[in-house]
Amino acid sequence: MTNNKPVKIVETVLRDGPQSLTATRMRTSDMIPVLEQLDNVGYHALEAWGGATFDACLRFLDEDPWERLRTVKSHLKNTPIQMLLRGQNILGYNHYSDDVVREFVHRSVDNGVSIIRIFDALNDTRNLEASMRAAKEAGAHVQGAIVYTISPYHKAEDFLHLGEELVQMGADSICIKDMAGLLSPYAAEELVRTLKSKIDLPIDLHTHFTSGMGDMTYLKAIEAGVDIVDTALSPFSCSTSQPCTESLVATLKGHERDTGIDFDGLHDLADYFRQVKTNLANEFHLNTNIPIDPKVLTFQIPGGMLSNLLNQMKEMGTADKYEEMLAEMPKVRADLGYPPLVTPTSQIVGSMAVLNVALGRYKMIPKEVKDLIAGKYGRTPGPIDPELQKLAIGDVQPIDHRPADDIAPQLEEMKDRLAKAGYPNATIEDVLSYALFPDVAITYFNNHRK
Ligand code: CO
C-alpha cells in the first residue's frame, strides 16, 4: 500500500533545534515576534515545549516554563503545540510517582499542549502507562515513541512488536525516535515499511543529522510511506539537529507527496532565526558550528556526550585513555543488555566505561549502574551479563514489576515542602516545577513570587 498523501512536517525550531545547537538557550521573547508567521506556514505541529526546555527555562533563562507555554499558545490559532515527555521521568531525570505524572500531563494540556510524544529510554512500555493514560484522559493526541537503536535485540520485528504494544495502549500515532542519528536510509525504509504493514496509525520519523544521513533517511522513509517528519528551519538544522525544513519542502515540490508549504515564504523566518542564533551564540559564548560526526555510527554516543565524557576523563587525569574508553563503551552496553543510549542510559553506560578504563573493569560500580541491573529503570532489551550482575548486586533479585509501583504518591508532600519553603499558596504549576527541579524552582520563585 503506497502513501500518496502530502508529507506532514513538525517544525522543531522552537525546541529540539535550539536544544541541539544552542544548549536550549532560546528565550520566549525570541519566539514571540514570529509565532503568528510560524502559525501560518501550514505545519502539522510546532514542537515548542518539553525535552530540556523546562529545565533550561528555570535554570538558565530566568523564565517560568508554564508561562512560556501559555504565551506561545496565545499566538497560535491554527497549529497545535507538540511536546516531548520522558514517560515516568516527566521532564526530569528520576522516576516520579503516578500522581505527579498525571497532574503534570493534565496541566500541560490545560496550558496549551495538544500533542504529547512520550518515550522511555529502555522502551519499557510499563514506564509509559501512567503518562499515556493521563494524556488520553486530558484529551491530548498521544504519540507513542519507539526509541531507535542498533543491537542484536533491535531488529525491525522487535520495533514492530513495540509499536503494536503502543497501539494497544491507546497511541494515536507512532514516532520512530532516532535521537542519535543512527537510522540509515535503507534501515529507515525497511522499518517504516514494516510498521506501516501492520499498524494503521500515522508514523512520524524524528532523526538528527549527527551522522550526516538525515536527508537521505527521510527521503527513503517518505518513499516507504512515512506520514510525518520532523525538521528545523535552516539556521537551527543539520549538524546535531534535525534535517532542514526548507530543503525538504524543496525536495518534494511538485512530487505527489508535496508538503504544500510555500518554499519562498520560509526565507523570512529563516533570516529571523539566523539572527536569533547569532545573538544567542554571542550572549552565551556558544560554538554553534558543530560539524557532522559519522563516528557516532560506531560509538552510538552523540557528539555532545562524547565531549562530556572526555571532560570527565580529564578531571580524573585519564584523558590519555580516551580511545580505550571508546572501545569499552560498546562492551559495557552489551553487558548491560543493550540499552538505547539516550538520557539517562547514555550517561550510565558512558560513566561506567570511563571508570572501567581508569580503575579496571567493574572495579567500581556506581549506584545508577546497580539500579539499572536491579531493574529499577525498567526492563533492559537484552539480558544483563550474569557475572556483572553477581558483582554488582550479589544475590539480590532484580525487580520484575513496573518500577513506579514502588514510588508512593508525592504530590501532597511536594505541596507541603513548598509551603514550608515559604510558598503556601503556590499554583499547581509551581508545585510541579518544584517537584521536578526543586533548587532552581525555589531560586526562580524567590526572584519572582515574592
Ligand atoms: Co531529538
How far is 46 from 28, CA to CA, in rounded Å?
A: 14
Residue among 336, 311, 337, 338 at smallest CA distance from 325: 311
Kindly tell me if the per-residue pLDDT of 24 is higher than 70: yes
What's residue 131's pLDDT? 98
| Confidence band for 302, pLDDT divided at 50, 70 and 90 | low
C-alpha cell at 172: 494515536
Q: What is the CA(237)–ligand 1 centre distance, in A?
A: 11
Q: Pairing relation of β-strands 173-178 and 203-207?
A: parallel
What's residue 196's pLDDT? 97
Q: What is the CA(371)–ligand 1 centre distance, in A?
A: 26
Q: CA triplet 95, 72, 64: central angle to 5 degrees?
A: 50
Kindly tell me if the per-residue pLDDT of 419 is higher than 90: yes
For the chain, what is the largest distance between any 2 Cα atoms, rounded to a whole number of angstroms?
64
What CATH class is the domain 8-284?
A: alpha beta
Q: What is the CA(426)–ligand 1 centre distance, in A?
A: 32
What's residue 342's pLDDT? 87
Q: What is the CA(240)–ligand 1 centre distance, in A?
A: 9
pLDDT > 70: percent of the chain: 99
> What type of residue is 290?
I
Computed over every residue of the chain, the mean pLDDT equals 96
Q: What is the CA(316)–ligand 1 centre distance, in A?
A: 30
- For residues 52-65, one letter each, b for 16 or more C-beta atoms within 10 angstroms of the residue's C-beta and e for the rest, the string is bbbbbbbbebebbb
Residue 274 DSSP SS3: helix
Q: What is the CA(15)–ligand 1 centre distance, in A?
A: 9
Q: Is the pTM of this model over 0.75?
A: yes
Q: What is the CA(261)–ligand 1 centre distance, in A?
A: 23
Q: What is the CA(242)–ligand 1 centre distance, in A?
A: 7
Residues 78 and 39: beta-carbon distance below 8 Å: yes
What's residue 1's pLDDT? 58
DSSP per residue, 1-27:
----SPPEEEE-TTTHHHHHHSTT---
**Residue range 24-37: average pLDDT?**
97
Residue 355 DSSP SS3: helix
Q: What is the CA(169)–ligand 1 centre distance, in A?
A: 23
Kindly tell me if the per-residue pLDDT of 304 is higher than 70: no
Q: What is the CA(392)–ligand 1 centre distance, in A?
A: 32
Kindly tell me if the per-residue pLDDT of 74 is higher than 70: yes
Residue among 286, 285, 287, 307 at smallest CA distance from 296: 307
Q: What is the CA(208)–ligand 1 centre distance, in A?
A: 6
**Residue range 296-325: average pLDDT?**
84
The CATH code of domain 301-404 reads: 1.10.472.90
Q: Domain ranges in the chain?
A: 8-284, 301-404, 410-448
Q: What is the CA(396)–ligand 1 centre distance, in A?
A: 36
Kindly report the backbone phi and psi dihedral angles of residue 205, in degrees, each rounded to the nearest multiple of 5, phi listed first.
Answer: -110, 125
Q: What is the pLDDT of residues 240-289, one digit of tens each?
A: 999 999 999 999 999 999 999 999 999 999 999 999 999 999 999 998 88
**Residue range 94-114: average pLDDT?**
97
Residues 46 and 14: beta-carbon distance below 8 Å: yes
What does the DSSP 8-state code read for residue 28?
H
Quick check: do 8-284 and 301-404 share a fold? no
C-alpha cell at 418: 513548598
Q: What is the CA(124)–ligand 1 centre distance, in A?
A: 19
pLDDT > 90: percent of the chain: 90
